[in-house]
């Protein structure tokens, strides 16, 4: 098979399209022929050497995608050959063939395309737990979303609106703020305006919940929350946050909580149940994935360069 490989850490130019032995599925794994793969900043960080990578070079990136069962797992009747499936957390997805644990496979309904699955499973399931588990959003809540023009951000904005929240999206440029408004946000602002804009939208009180995936903005997120409000910290796209003095939380009765998808997807049944709910929202038109661009997997270096340019508004896909 062919895969997108790299032998050393560095920029997009280290990626190459090369041959590699076909993966041999372990017990409890099926072999999947890929059709669409989601590209994430975590792939960039691993390519740069900033995230953990197991094994030795040449390495293969990628953790999410969709395709067709090429070889069923021994004894498994749920996913026979030819079944359309997706997954959100299996390594080495940037290849023509991927061995995937059957517990991590998600069946795709006929009306969910490979591209839709690859564009929504990881980030859509993340947005889903943020509005249901990290903080239960109620009608009338004022919510702030950092990086609101990104893959998670746009889906999160839409899910918040479905639940009846008033949403302020934070984005770094005018074009991205326009995309945030197009996704359904009630208002959009830059990072310099966040606390003041949140207070204005929250009738002088601030936001009920702030979703922070940036890290370095955590201080502004706490300032944007109302007395008794909640900040959900779930990412560090711009680096580690500054330490938080717990007296600040005490003085304003704030809640600071973390969020991680893998603490939620604790079984195959939960994974598939939540994915089915995600697909139902897409089917009903309540959730509209925004695909920023498609690149051939063999041209993965161009896709990485595009993602790193910060020009992408929505999800970048690698297709086969």
Does 238 score more than 90 pLDDT? no
Strands 187-189 and 166-170: parallel
- Give Dmax over CA atoms of the chain in angstroms: 61
Express each pLDDT in 145-190 by its tens digit: 999 999 999 999 999 999 999 999 999 999 999 999 999 999 999 9
Distance of CA 11 to the CA centre of its chain: 22
pLDDT on residue 53: 86
Does 312 score more than 90 pLDDT? no
Which residue from 23, 17, 9, 63 is spatially nearest to 40, judged by alpha carbons? 63
24 burial (CB, 10 Å; 0-12 / 13-18 / 19+) is: exposed
Show Cβ contacts of residue 236 under 8 Å, excluding neighbours closer than 6 positions: 213, 214, 215, 216
pLDDT on residue 183: 96
Task: Please report, for the chain, the start and end positions of each structural domain, with discontinuous segments joined by +.
Answer: 2-120+265-319, 139-258
pLDDT band at 55, cuts 50/70/90?
Answer: confident
Does 143 score more than 90 pLDDT? yes
Topology of domain 139-258 in CATH is: Rossmann fold (3.40.50)
Model pTM? 0.94
The pair phi, psi for residue 191, each rounded to 5°, is -70, -25
Percent share of the chain, pLDDT over 70 = 100
Q: Which CATH entry fits the domain spanning 2-120+265-319: 3.40.50.620, 3.40.640.10, 3.90.180.10, 3.40.47.10?
A: 3.90.180.10
Burial 191-223 (b: 16+ CB within 10 A, else e): eeebbebbbebbeeebbbbbbbbbbebbebbbb
What number of residues does the chain have? 320
Provide the angle, in degrees to the nearest 10, between the axes of the packed helices 151-162 and 174-182: 40
pLDDT on residue 50: 85
pLDDT on residue 236: 86
pLDDT on residue 257: 97
């Amino acid at each position: 098979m062919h895969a997108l490989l790299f032998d050393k850490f560095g920029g997009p130019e280290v990626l190459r399209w090369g041959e590699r032995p076909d993966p041999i599925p372990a017990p409890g794994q099926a072999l999947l022929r890929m059709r669409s793969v989601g590209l994430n900043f975590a792939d960039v960080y691993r390519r740069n050497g900033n995230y953990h990578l197991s094994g030795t070079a040449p390495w293969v990136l990628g953790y999410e995608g969709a395709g067709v069962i090429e070889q069923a797992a021994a004894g498994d009747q749920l996913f026979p050959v030819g079944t359309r499936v997706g997954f959100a957390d299996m390594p080495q997805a940037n290849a023509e063939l991927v061995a995937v644990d059957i517990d991590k496979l998600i069946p795709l309904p006929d009306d969910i395309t490979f591209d839709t699955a690859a564009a929504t499973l990881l980030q859509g399931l993340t947005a889903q737990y943020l509005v249901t588990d990290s903080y239960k959003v109620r009608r009338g809540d004022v919510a702030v979303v950092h990086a609101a023009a990104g893959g998670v951000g746009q889906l999160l904005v839409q899910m918040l609106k479905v639940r009846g929240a008033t949403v302020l999206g934070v984005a770094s440029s005018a074009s991205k703020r326009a995309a945030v408004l197009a996704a359904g946000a009630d208002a959009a602002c830059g990072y310099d305006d966040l606390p003041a804009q949140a207070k204005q939208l929250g009738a002088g009180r601030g936001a009920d919940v702030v979703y922070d995936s940036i890290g370095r903005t955590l201080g502004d997120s706490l300032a944007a929350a109302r007395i008794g409000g909640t900040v959900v910290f779930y990412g560090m796209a711009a680096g580690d946050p500054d330490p938080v003095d717990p007296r600040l939380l005490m003085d304003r009765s704030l809640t600071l909580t973390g969020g991680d998808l893998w603490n939620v997807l604790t079984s195959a049944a939960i994974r598939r149940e939540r994915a089915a709910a995600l697909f139902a929202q897409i089917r009903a038109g309540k959730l509209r994935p925004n695909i920023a661009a498609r690149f051939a997997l063999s041209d993965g270096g161009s896709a990485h360069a595009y993602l790193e340019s910060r020009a992408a508004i929505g999800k970048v896909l690698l297709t086969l």
